[in-house]
């Protein structure tokens, strides 16, 4: 598995070295541990530079991230509901968005706006094992 090539959208994804998708899910759905993780809604274009694991500034899942912006207590409370293993990545993405938009303070309203702009609302996406059961 360590030396194999990932298939499907995971195989052409620029995040494959830092993410790689869930191999157990790939096996459960396709019988192939190297196939795509179908639970991921990201459709990589396939022509972006690879995001290398361990590169300077690379994100590491599971690490808490110091805040670079001011977060309201309500926005911090919202972050506390996100699973700890992914919270630091979400904080980074939100603060990157705020940087691009020139926003100084992270509020619940900003978080709601970012969520509405996401191509996939993961809170409404059924887990793969429930597909076709509604």
Closest CB to ligand SF4 among residues 61, 68: 61
Q: Which two tokens stand for residue 41?
A: 């809604």
39, 127 in Cβ contact below 8 A?
yes
The distance from CA 134 to its chain's CA centroid, rounded to whole angstroms, is: 26
Closest CB to ligand SF4 among residues 96, 101: 96
Task: Tell me how far, at minimum, the Cβ of 18 lies from ligand SF4, in Å.
Answer: 8
50, 19 in Cβ contact below 8 A?
no
Task: Tell me how far, at minimum, the Cβ of 26 lies from ligand SF4, in Å.
Answer: 9
How far apart (Å, rounded) are the C-alpha atoms in residues 64 and 41? Answer: 24
Task: Tell me how far, at minimum, the Cβ of 58 lies from ligand SF4, in Å.
Answer: 14
How far apart (Å, rounded) are the C-alpha atoms in residues 110 and 12? Answer: 31
Instruction: Give yes or no for residue 42 binding ligand SF4 (CB under 6 A).
Output: yes
Binding window for ligand SF4 (CB under 6 A); candidates: 17-25, 52-60, 99-107, 118-126: 17-25
115 - beta bridge partners?
none
Site residues for ligand SF4 per CB under 6 A: 9-10, 13, 15-16, 19-21, 37, 40, 42, 44
């Amino acid at each position: 598995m360590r030396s194999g090539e990932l298939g499907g959208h995971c195989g052409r994804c620029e995040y494959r070295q830092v993410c790689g998708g869930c191999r157990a899910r790939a096996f459960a759905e396709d019988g192939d541990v190297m196939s795509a993780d179908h639970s991921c809604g990201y459709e990589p274009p396939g022509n972006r530079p690879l995001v290398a694991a361990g590169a300077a500034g690379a994100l590491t899942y599971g690490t808490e991230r110091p805040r670079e912006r001011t977060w309201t207590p309500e926005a911090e409370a919202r972050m506390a509901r996100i699973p700890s293993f992914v919270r630091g990545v979400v904080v980074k993405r939100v603060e990157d968005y705020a940087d691009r938009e020139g926003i100084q303070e992270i509020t619940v309203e900003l978080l709601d706006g970012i969520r509405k702009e996401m191509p996939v609302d993961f809170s409404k996406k059924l887990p793969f094992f429930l597909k076709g059961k509604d």
